[in-house]
Structure 1
Amino acid sequence: MGVHVAARPRRSSQTPPPPGVSRSALGTEAAVLARHATAVDLCVFDGDAEERVPLRRSAHGVWWDLVPDLSPGTRYGFRVDGPWSPAQGHRHNPHKLLLDPYGHAVDGWVRWAPAVYGHAVDEGGHARPDVRDERDSAPFVPRSVVVDHGFDWQGDVAPAVPWTDTVVYEAHVRGLTMRHPDVPPQLQGTYAALGHPAVLQHLVSLGVTTLELLPVHAYASEPDLVRRGRYNYWGYNTLGFFAPHPGYAAADHPQGVVDELKGAVRALHAAGIEVVLDVVYNHTAEQASDRGPTLSWRGLDNRTYYRLDAQGRDVDVTGTGNTVDLRDPLVTRMVLDSLRHWVQEYHVDGFRFDLAPALVRGDDDAYQRDHPFHVALRTDPVLSGVKLIAEPWDVGVHGWRTGQFPPPLAEWNDRFRDSVRSFWLADAAGAQRGAPGAGLRELASRLAGSADLFGHEHRAPLASVNFVAAHDGFTLADLTAYEQKNNLPNGEDNRDGHGDNRSWNHGVEGATTDAAVLAERERSVRNLLATVLLSPGVPMLAAGDEAGRTQGGNNNAYNQDNSTSWLSWRRSPAQEALLEQTRELLALRRELALLRPAAAPTPGPVAGRTRLRWFEEQGLELPAAAWGDPWRRTLVVLHDTLHQPEGAAVALVMHAGADPLDVVAPKVEGVTGWRLRWSSDGAPAGSPVAPGQPIQVVARSLTVLVGSPA
C-alpha cells in the first residue's frame, strides 16, 4: 500500500516511524519532517469535509502519531503552525494545506489564486470565479492520496542491459505517443501508450535498449506560465517526489495512475527495454520564497528543505528560484527514499539526475565530490545496482563539472556534443567559406572515449553518455536547418534558449524545397548520427531524431505541449530512409564490439583491449603536427585489437571538407582487405577495398570500412 508495511526491528515508542503514512504493529502512523514547527495536523478529507488530527509526538525534527486507519483512496494533507519570520527562513502558515512530501499519489491540480492573477486558473486553464478566501488553501492545493501497491508484476524481470550494449532513447510520455496512429485515441499521450505494441515495436526494431523518460514525478506549471496561458510541458517543476504525474494517465483516479505506469514498465521490460527516469531533486515547484507558492516543503520547514542565505533568502543554483538542501541528512534521506521507492515499487532501472551538481554542493556552496549523497548512491544496496546518470552542470558559480562525478555515475558529455557539432556543422560551414576550423584534437579526444574526462577510477569510456541532441536544444534535423533559434512561440520574445548552437543551415534558413540543400542536410544528419552511434561510450538519441523530427527551429520547447513537440509518425520518403539508416547503424554497433569497448582504447596492442590509431588521407599515421592544423578536415579513425573474432579492424573515414577527396585505405597488420559497410553518402555496402587503395569520399561524409582478418 501507499501506506507501506516494512519488516524492521521493533521500534521504541519514542522513535519516529518512517516519514509519510505507514502501518506497523502499533497501527497506522503519520510522520513528517517539520523541525521548526510548533504544531502539526494531519488533515483527512471525505469529499469537501476535512478532519484534522493533531500529531502529538515529536523528536529529531519529526512529528508523528497514531492516526485513524487510512485505506487506499484516502485523500489527506498537513497543516503546520510555527514562526512566520522570513528573515530567519521560517514561513509557517496553518491556513495552508500542504502535500505530504512522501505522498505516493496526488489528486487534483494546483490552482492559482485570483488575488494574484485576477481569476483562479488550474493546469487546464479553467477559470474559477467562485473561489473562497485565498487564505484557505483548500481550493488551490491538491491532496496526497493513499494507494495500494499490490500490483501483479507477472514475473517481471529487469532487462539488466550491460553498459557496453546500452543505447539510450530520451523521450517524453506525451511527445512520444500523442500522435501515434496505431495507439487508440483515448490512450495517446499516456503511460498506457508506452506499453502499446505499436510503440514497443518501434523501439525494438530501432535497436534502442533503454527508454529515458523526461520527468514523470507529479509536477505543476509555474504561475507565470499559467498567467500567460501556457503550461510546463517538460515537467521539470516537481510537486511530489514519490507520486507519478496524473496528467500522463488515461486513468482518471490516483490508484489507476499508479497501476498504469507500472503496467507500462512491465510491458517495456517484457520487450527487453529498460526504463530510466529523468528526476528533478535539485528544486521544487515552490520557486523563490518571495514570489512562489507554498505547496509542501516551504510550509513544513522552509529553512530545512531549502538552501538559504543568512537573510533567509533562497540560494538559487538551479535557475528556478530555489535549491533543495541535501546538506541536511533528513532531506538527503527523502531523496534516497524516493529513488528506492521508484526502483522497488515501479521496477525502474535507473535515473538521470537533472542539474546534478546542485545536489552535492557543500557548506561553502562549492561542488563536493565526496558529498554524503554520492557516498550513499555508491553504497546503497538498491541504488548502487541501477543505472545512474548525471547532468553534470547547474547554473551556479563553477557549476560545470563534466567528468568530475564519481562512480557509479555516468554523465551526459556536453564536450562530445559540442566537438561533434563543431566538426560536422560549424567548421564544415567554415570550410565552405574557406575559413579555418578548430582542428582535430578535441574531436579525437571525444572519439577516444573522452579518457581525458573520465579516465580516473576506471570510468572511461562507459561513463560518457554521448549525444549531439537532447530535449533541450535543437533537434538533430534542426541543427542542419537553422542557425538562429526560433523561440517566439514560447512567449518570451526569443530571449530564452541557447544562442551557441554550433549549427549550420546549409545556405538556407529553415524549411526549403531546394533539393540540393535538402540532400546536404540529410547527409549531415547521417554524419552526426553515425558519429554518436559508432563511438566508444554510451550513445543517446532524442526521440524522433532517428526520423528527422523538426521543432521549426525552437530550441527551448519547454512550454510547447502541441505538434511542435509531439512526434509525427507520418513520415516523408526521406524520413523513412533516415529511420532505416539509423536501424542499420545500431545493428552495426551491435555487430562490432570494437566500437563499444568496456575499457578505454589504447594506442598500442594490448590483448583484449581496443587499439585506437589515427590516419590521414594518404594512409599514413597522422603526424603530431597535424593535430593543431586548423585547415585539416579529414581524419581516419582506426579501431583494431588482438584476437578479435568478428573482424580485425574498423576504420571510420570522417571527411568534413567542402570538396570530394581520395582517401587511402590504411595498411594494417592482420587485415587482408577492407569492405565498405556503410556510408553517409549512400555508397553501396559490400564494395571491397584493398589496403593502400584510394577510395573517393564526397564532401562532408562519413564512411565505415570493416577489415577482413588474415
Structure 2
Amino acid sequence: MTVPVATLQSQYGITGTVYYGYRAWGPNWPYNASWTKGSSAGFVGDVDAAGNRFNPNKLLIDPYARELSHDPRTPSQTSDTVYASGPSYRTLDSGPAAPKGIVLPEPTAATGSKPTRALKDDIVYEVHVRGLTANDPSVPAAERGTYKGAARKAAELAGLGVTAVEFLPVQETQNDADNADPTSTTGDNYWGYSTLDYFAPDRRYASDRSPGGPTREFQDMVKAYHDAGIKVFTDVVYNHTGEGGPWNPGDKNTYSVLSFRGLDNPEYYELTADLQGPVDNTGVGGNYNTYSPVAQQLILDSLDYWNDTLGVDGFRFDLAPVLGNTCRTGCFRYSRTDPGTALNRITAAMRTRPAAGGTGTDWIAEPWALGNGSYQVGNLPAGWSEWNDTFRDTLRRDQNAMGIEDVTPGQLATRLAGSSDLYQDDGRAPFNSVNFMVAHDGFTLADLYTCNTKNNTQPWPYGPSDGGSDHNLSWDQGSNAADQRKAARNGFALLMLSAGTPMMTGGDETLRSIRCNNNPNNLDSSANWLGHSPTADQSTFRTYAQRLITFRKAPPALRPAAFHSAADNNGNGLGQLDWFTPAGSAPDGAYWSSPNNHALALRLDGTELGDPSSAVYVGYNGWSGDVDFTLPSRGAGKQWYRVTDTSTWAEGPDQVASPGSEALVGGAGTVYRLHGRATLLLIAK
C-alpha cells in the first residue's frame, strides 16, 4: 500500500517532514478497542506458542525506512527499558523516545561512474568512515568523522595506490550514545555491527543531519571515490540485527522490541524448536532468519538499494555462513549448493563482476561464524570471494611462531600462490582469496610485531575493551624497534607479492598502533582513529607501502586470473611459476615437508601473461641468520635487478626502488646473501 505524503500531511496536519513508526497487534496481543498508549488492554502474553512478540506499546521502526531520526539510546535517552517487553516494561510507551522513519523523496544525487576493474587488480583498504578523518586537522572540524570528510581523502588514498575502500558498517546502528561520555567506552559501539535499519546511512556519520542529508552526503562521498577511480565497498551485517537477544538467561519474556521482533518475530528471526528464543550463531543475540523468503527479500532489496541508488560497488558480509543456513527454526545447517540460501539468491538476483572485470558487484564473505559447521573457509558458493584466515595465520606463524607452530615450505608456498587447496577444486580463482595480515578485528600491523599478548584493560583512550583472541600469533621481535619495522615490511611485502586480492587496514601504511588492544570494538576515541602526524619512521614506511603497491600493479603475473602452473607454455625455458631452494634447485618432497626449512624462493615468468618484465623473483628468508640465495635463470638477455630488500641495512625512503632505479644484482648463478628474516624482490630486465 502506498500513501502519498500530501495525504499524510493533510490528514494529520503535518507541516514539513513526515516522521513515522508502526504499532502492531497480533495473536499474543490482539487488537482491543479500549487500548491506549501505555495500557495492557488485549494483552495475552509477551510471547505465544508460535513465537509472536507483538506489543502495541512499542513504536516500531519500519525495516524499509530510508533514514532514521535517531538511535534508541542517545545522550539524553540512556536507558533501553522503554523498548522492552516483559512484566516490568511491557506497558511502557516507547513512542516519544523511539527512532522514527523519515519519509523522503527518491534520492537523485549522482554517484559517478562505477569502476569496472577486476577484483584481482584491486588493493582493498579497510577503514572506519569515522576513524578515517575524526582526528585529521586537514579536514574542516565540522566534517571530521563524516562522509563528507571521508570524501576529501579519496585523492590521498588513490595516491597511496588504493583501488577499493572497504568501510566498516555504515548502515544505521546504535552509536548516538557514544557521545554521552566522550571519555568512556561504557556502552559504546564504534565498529557498528548491530544494524537497526538496512536502508539508512548512519546519521552520526553525516555533517548534514537534516532529513535526507545523510543519504545525499553518502552519495556525494561515493562519487568522490568513483571520480578518483576507487571502488566503494561496505561491510554489511545481515546475520543478526541491533535488537539483540534475551535480556536475562532463562527469561523468555523480556526482549527489546524495536522493529523486526514486533512486526513478525518468527519470520525475521530463526527461533529455537519451541519458538520461545533465538538460535544464535553470531554471539550477539540471535540469527536473522536468512532462510525465510520474507527476510531474504529484505536483504535483496537492501543490497539493490545500496548498489543501484547509493552507488556501492561491493559488499563484505559479516559472519557470512549464517546466510548459507538452511534451517528456518531450531538448528544451523550450512549448504554451499542449496539455491534457496541467501548466499545463492543474492548472486542469482544480482550480477557478479566477471573475473576479467566489467559491470557487476564484488561479493566478499567473512566465511566463519560461531558453532559447529559454521567455519566455511574455502566453501562459499561460486561468485563469492572470502577473507582467507588460513593465509593470515600461516604467514603469522612463519614470521612469529617459529619453533612453536612451525610452517613447512609447502604450506607457505600454497598460501603465496593463491591457496589452490581452498579455491581451485570448485572452479574459483586466486583472487577469490582475499589475503590479509590484519583486519579491524585484532591487532594492527604494527601491533602484530610489537605485542606478545593483548592488553585490552588499559585505560581510556586505548581501552578498556572486553573479549579479543588470546591466540594472536604475534611477537614483539625481542623488543627491537628496527626488527619490528622489518617484520612489518616483510608482512606487507608477502601480502602484496602473493596471488589473491590483498586487503590492508587503514593505518597499516603508517604503522598505526593501538598499544596491543586487539578488540577495540567500543573504542570511539583518538587512539582508535587514524593518526595524521606521522613520525619519520612512519613516513618512511608509508613510502615503502606506496611503492610496493605500485609495483604490484605492474606485473600481471602477480595478479593472476587463474592458478599458475609449472608449465612452460611459450618455450622460453621458464615455467609460469617455479619454486627454488636457496641453492637454486627445485625443492623435493623432503624439502617441501620439513618445518626445519625456513627459506624459499619463487620465479614468475611474466611473458606467459604478456608482462613486459620477463620475470619476477621473490626470495624469503624466515630464518634468524643470513642465507645465501643462488639466483636462477632470468630469461634470455636479461639480468636480475633489485626492487627491494626488506633487511634493516636498506631501510630508508628508497628501500623500494622507484621504476628505472633498480640496482643491478647479476645473472643466473649469482649468489645473493639475504639477511635474517627478510624478503628480496628482483625483476629481470
| Residue aligned with 1:388, SS | strand
Q: 1:58 corresponds to which residue?
A: none
Query: Structure 1 residue 182 and structure 2 residue 153: aligned?
Result: no
Partner of 2:57: 95
Whether 2:679 is the aligned partner of 1:702: answer yes
Instruction: Give the TM-score normalised by structure 1.
Output: 0.83
What is the CA distance between 1:122 and its match in structure 2? 6.8
Tell me the equivalent position of 1:512.
Answer: none
Please identify, of 296-305 and 139-148, the stretch whose mean Cα deviation from structure 2 is larger: 139-148
Q: For 1:228 and 1:528, how far apart are their aligned partners in 2? A: 31
In structure 1, how many angstroms separate the alpha carbons of the residues matched to 2:134 and 2:472? Answer: 28
1:626 aligns with 2:591: yes
Q: Quick one: percent identity of the two aligned structures?
A: 34
Range with bigger deviation, 229-238 or 363-372:
363-372
User: What do residues 329-373 of structure 1 show as CA deviations (whole Å, max 9, x unaligned)?
Assistant: 111000000000001110110100000001121125211113422
- Secondary structure at the counterpart of residue 663 of structure 1: strand
Q: Which has the higher strand share?
A: 1
Which string of whole-angstrom CA distances, capped at 9 and with x for unpartnered residues, describes residues 9-31 of structure 1?
Answer: xxxxxxxx5xxxx56xxx5799x
Find out whether 1:447 has 2:416 as its counterpart.
yes
C-alpha displacement at 1:152, in angstroms? 3.3
Partner of 1:304, secondary structure, is helix
CA contact (8 A) 2:465 2:521 kept: no
Question: What is the correspondence of 1:271-420 to structure 2 with a 5 Å cutoff?
Answer: 271-291=228-248, 292-311=255-274, 312-363=276-327, 364-371=331-338, 372=340, 373-381=342-350, 385-420=360-395
- Corresponding position: 1:220 with 2:178: no
Displacement of 1:677 after TM fit? 1.1
Contact preservation (8 Å) 2:606, 2:613: no
2:475 maps to a residue whose letter is: W
Q: Do structure 1's residue 651 and structure 2's residue 617 form an aligned pair?
A: yes
Q: Specify the code of the residue in structure 1 equivalent to 2:674.
A: V
Report the alpha carbon displacement of residue 377 of structure 1 after superposing the two structures with TM. 2.1
Q: Name the structure 2 match of 1:241.
A: 198
Q: In the alignment, what sits opposite 1:575?
A: 538
Counterparts of residues 3-402 of structure 1 (less than 5 Å): 22=2, 73-82=17-26, 83=28, 84=45, 85-111=47-73, 120-121=77-78, 135-153=92-110, 156-196=112-152, 199-221=153-175, 229-291=186-248, 292-311=255-274, 312-363=276-327, 364-371=331-338, 372=340, 373-381=342-350, 385-402=360-377
Q: Is the 8 A contact 1:530 1:585 kept in 2?
A: yes
Deviations 1:188-239 (A, max 9, x none): 000001111xx12320110010000000000115999999733100000000
What CA deviation, in whole Å up to 9, does each residue of 1:13-60 have, x standing for no partner?
xxxx5xxxx56xxx5799xxxxxxxxxxxxx799xxx96xxxxxxxxx
1:540 to 503, 526, 530: 503
Task: Give 1:285's aligned amino acid.
Answer: G
CA distance in 1, matches of 2:405, 2:201: 50
SS of residue paired to 2:60: coil
Is contact 1:318-1:395 (8 Å) kept?
yes
CA contact (8 A) 1:490 1:560 kept: no
Q: CA separation in 2, counterparts of 1:692 and 1:79? A: 79
Residue 658 to residue 635, structure 1, CA distance change in 2 (3 Å)? same
Higher RCO (C-alpha under 8 Å, 6+ residues apart) = 2
Give the Å deviation of 1:403: 0.8
Q: Who is 1:8 aligned against?
A: none
| Offset from partner CA, 1:662-685 (integer Å, 9 cap, x none) | 111123554632111112122674
Structure 1 position 164, deviation (Å): 2.4
- Rounded Cα–Cα distance in structure 2 between residues aligned with 1:417 and 1:285: 30
| Alpha-carbon spacing, 1:222–1:265, altered in 2? closer, same or farther (3 Å) | closer
Partners of 1:494 and 1:89 lie apart in 2 by: 34
User: What's the Cα RMSD here?
Assistant: 2.8
* 641-650 vs 245-254, greater mean Cα deviation: 641-650
Distance of aligned partners of 1:637 and 1:194 in 2 relative to their CA distance in 1, 3 Å threshold: same
CA distance in 2, matches of 1:45, 1:443: 65
* Structure 1 equivalent of residue 31 of structure 2: none
Deviations 1:165-201 (A, max 9, x none): 11100010111111112110110000001111xx123
Aligned length, in residue pairs: 622
Quickly say closer, same or farther: Cα 1:669–1:200, change in 2 above 3 A. closer
CA positional deviation for 1:494 = 6.9
Bigger mean CA offset, 670-679 vs 463-472: 670-679
Distance 1:525 1:616 in 2: 24
Cα gap change, 1:694/1:259 in structure 2, threshold over 3 Å: closer, same or farther?
same
Change (3 A) 1:228 1:688: closer
Q: CA deviation digits over 1:388-424, x for unaligned, max 9?
A: 1010000121211011111211110000010111112
Question: Is 1:466 aligned with 2:435?
Answer: yes
* Structure 1 contact 111–139 (Cα < 8 Å) conserved: no
Distance 1:673 1:392, change over 3 A: same
1:436 touches 1:630 (CA, 8 Å); kept in 2? no
**Contact 1:225/1:232 (<8 A) preserved:** no
How far did 1:375 drift? 2.8
**For residue 690 of structure 1, what is the aligned residue in structure 2?**
667
In structure 1, the residue matched to 2:252 is none
Q: For the residues of structure 2 that align with 1:426 and 1:336, how far apart are their CA atoms?
A: 43
1:448 Cα shift? Answer: 1.2
Instruction: Name the SS for the 1:551 alignment partner.
Output: coil
Provide the rounded CA distance (Å) in 1 between the counterparts of 2:185 and 2:601: 52
Deviations 1:430-489 (A, max 9, x none): 4xxxx7832222211111111110003431201010000000000000000001001114
**TM-score between the two structures when normalised by the length of structure 2:** 0.86
Query: What is the deviation of 1:256?
Result: 0.9
Tell me, what secondary structure is at the counterpart of 1:400?
coil
Q: Is the 8 A contact 1:458 1:599 kept in 2?
A: no
**Cα separation, partners in 2 of 1:289 and 1:383, compared to 1, 3 Å:** farther
Give the 5 Å matches for 1:563-602. 563-602=526-565
Structure 2: runs of 5 or more not aligned: 29-44, 81-88, 249-254, 354-359
Letter of the structure 2 residue corresponding to residue 496 of structure 1: G
Match for 2:669: what amino acid? G
Distance 1:584 1:591 in 2: 11
Q: Structure 1: which amino acid aligns with 2:639?
A: G
